[in-house]
Amino acid sequence: DKPRKTLHAYSVPMSGSTPARDGSKRPDGSDYTTVLSEDQWQEKLTPDEYHVLRQAGTEPAFQGEFTDEKRSGSYSCRACSAELFTSDTKFDSRCGWPSFYEPLAKDSVVYLEDTSMGRTRTEVRCAACVGHLGHVFEGEGFETPTDLRYCINSISVNFDTP
């Protein structure tokens, strides 16, 4: 067996593959709290939301509605409303997508190994519904407390002000 990679700041084991198509189990084998059939997800989400959240697509850089958002507030999963990030941890990475240096809580997201682009990346998914959020990168030299950049698709989240 190949050793599992870990994300430095949280030492979270990544799974060896993406979850089952039905999204019924987390990488640790436990159940997700929000489970819908793919037909139900297609009814609930717009086609673009479905493509990103359920098919691990990516919205175009610099076009998401929250890339330049500066107001105080919280970011929740657009698919299931689970709270994921706060504006306190958002920073301008100039990458074209909203960037955060840590999630709201360590258990609000799950990490999966993603080899879809010919290289290994760490995919970030909602821990409640398995919705694809984006990816997390480490060691890029940003002056943040964690040295992490959570690169999140705007279409995967909603923004709420206090």
Which sequence positions are flagged as catalytic? 151
DSSP-assigned letter for residue 89:
G
Alpha-carbon span 126 to 108, nearest angstrom:
6
d(CA 90, CA 10) in angstroms, rounded, equals 18
Give first-to-last CA distance, the chain, whole Å: 47
Best CA proximity match to 125, nearest among 153, 144, 100: 153
